[in-house]
Amino acid sequence: MTYKPLIFVTAVLMTMTACEKTPSAEELYPQMEDFYTESCGLSSVPADSVRMFAGKVDGYTVRYPEAKQHTRYPQIRENIRAASLRLSITINTEWDGEIHIGY
Protein backbone atom coordinates (compact mmCIF):
# COMPACT_ATOMS: atom_id res chain seq x y z
CA MET A 1 0.00 0.00 0.00
CA THR A 2 1.39 3.41 -0.98
CA TYR A 3 0.63 6.57 0.90
CA LYS A 4 1.87 8.99 -1.80
CA PRO A 5 -1.60 9.70 -3.29
CA LEU A 6 -3.02 10.24 0.19
CA ILE A 7 -0.21 12.64 1.08
CA PHE A 8 -0.71 14.52 -2.19
CA VAL A 9 -4.48 14.85 -1.66
CA THR A 10 -3.93 16.00 1.93
CA ALA A 11 -1.40 18.61 0.81
CA VAL A 12 -3.76 19.91 -1.89
CA LEU A 13 -6.66 20.18 0.57
CA MET A 14 -4.50 21.99 3.12
CA THR A 15 -3.34 24.44 0.46
CA MET A 16 -6.88 25.10 -0.70
CA THR A 17 -8.15 25.83 2.81
CA ALA A 18 -5.15 28.02 3.59
CA CYS A 19 -5.84 30.17 0.53
CA GLU A 20 -9.44 30.93 1.44
CA LYS A 21 -9.88 34.65 1.92
CA THR A 22 -11.55 35.90 5.06
CA PRO A 23 -14.34 38.29 4.06
CA SER A 24 -13.89 41.90 5.13
CA ALA A 25 -16.37 43.86 7.22
CA GLU A 26 -17.33 45.71 4.05
CA GLU A 27 -18.30 42.41 2.40
CA LEU A 28 -20.00 40.96 5.47
CA TYR A 29 -22.04 44.03 6.44
CA PRO A 30 -23.24 45.84 3.31
CA GLN A 31 -26.06 47.38 5.40
CA MET A 32 -23.47 49.83 6.76
CA GLU A 33 -23.28 51.52 3.34
CA ASP A 34 -27.04 52.09 3.50
CA PHE A 35 -26.70 53.45 7.03
CA TYR A 36 -23.96 55.81 5.85
CA THR A 37 -26.09 57.09 2.96
CA GLU A 38 -29.00 57.67 5.33
CA SER A 39 -26.76 59.37 7.89
CA CYS A 40 -25.63 61.95 5.32
CA GLY A 41 -29.14 63.43 5.32
CA LEU A 42 -29.62 63.61 9.08
CA SER A 43 -29.06 67.35 9.28
CA SER A 44 -32.36 67.98 7.50
CA VAL A 45 -34.60 65.76 9.67
CA PRO A 46 -36.13 66.40 13.11
CA ALA A 47 -34.14 65.51 16.22
CA ASP A 48 -36.43 62.58 17.08
CA SER A 49 -35.68 61.05 13.66
CA VAL A 50 -31.97 61.35 14.40
CA ARG A 51 -32.52 59.50 17.70
CA MET A 52 -34.54 56.78 15.95
CA PHE A 53 -31.80 56.35 13.34
CA ALA A 54 -29.12 56.18 16.04
CA GLY A 55 -31.16 53.48 17.77
CA LYS A 56 -31.41 51.53 14.51
CA VAL A 57 -27.62 51.66 14.03
CA ASP A 58 -27.00 50.76 17.68
CA GLY A 59 -29.39 47.81 17.43
CA TYR A 60 -27.62 46.56 14.32
CA THR A 61 -24.18 46.79 15.91
CA VAL A 62 -25.44 45.01 19.04
CA ARG A 63 -26.58 42.10 16.84
CA TYR A 64 -23.42 42.26 14.69
CA PRO A 65 -20.58 43.75 16.79
CA GLU A 66 -18.06 43.08 14.01
CA ALA A 67 -19.93 45.63 11.87
CA LYS A 68 -18.14 48.32 13.87
CA GLN A 69 -15.01 47.33 11.92
CA HIS A 70 -16.62 48.61 8.70
CA THR A 71 -14.87 51.69 7.33
CA ARG A 72 -18.16 53.64 7.28
CA TYR A 73 -18.95 53.10 10.98
CA PRO A 74 -16.91 56.07 12.31
CA GLN A 75 -18.42 58.30 9.60
CA ILE A 76 -21.93 57.18 10.53
CA ARG A 77 -21.27 57.93 14.22
CA GLU A 78 -19.85 61.36 13.31
CA ASN A 79 -22.90 62.20 11.18
CA ILE A 80 -25.20 61.19 14.04
CA ARG A 81 -23.19 63.30 16.48
CA ALA A 82 -23.21 66.32 14.18
CA ALA A 83 -26.97 66.04 13.59
CA SER A 84 -27.64 65.63 17.32
CA LEU A 85 -25.85 68.84 18.29
CA ARG A 86 -28.24 71.49 17.10
CA LEU A 87 -28.64 74.99 18.35
CA SER A 88 -31.55 77.04 17.14
CA ILE A 89 -31.69 80.75 17.92
CA THR A 90 -34.68 82.80 16.86
CA ILE A 91 -34.43 86.57 16.98
CA ASN A 92 -37.60 88.59 16.95
CA THR A 93 -36.85 91.80 15.10
CA GLU A 94 -40.28 93.31 15.84
CA TRP A 95 -39.89 95.02 19.20
CA ASP A 96 -42.89 96.34 21.11
CA GLY A 97 -41.02 99.36 22.27
CA GLU A 98 -37.82 100.02 24.10
CA ILE A 99 -36.68 98.34 27.22
CA HIS A 100 -34.47 100.40 29.50
CA ILE A 101 -32.45 98.71 32.11
CA GLY A 102 -30.94 101.14 34.53
CA TYR A 103 -28.94 101.11 37.68
Domain assignment present for 99? no
Helical axes 47-63 vs 73-84, angle rounded to 10°: 150
Instruction: Assign 102 a pLDDT band (cuts: 50, 70, 90).
Output: confident
Segments forming the whole domain that contains residue 73: 24-84
Helical axes 31-39 vs 73-84, angle rounded to 10°: 30
- Whether this model's pTM surpasses 0.75: no
d(Cα 82, Cα 11) in Å, to the nearest integer? 54
Domain assignment present for 18? no
- Total number of domains in the chain: 1
Domain assignment present for 9? no
pLDDT in tens, 33-76: 999 999 999 999 999 999 999 999 999 999 999 999 999 999 99
Domain assignment present for 68? yes
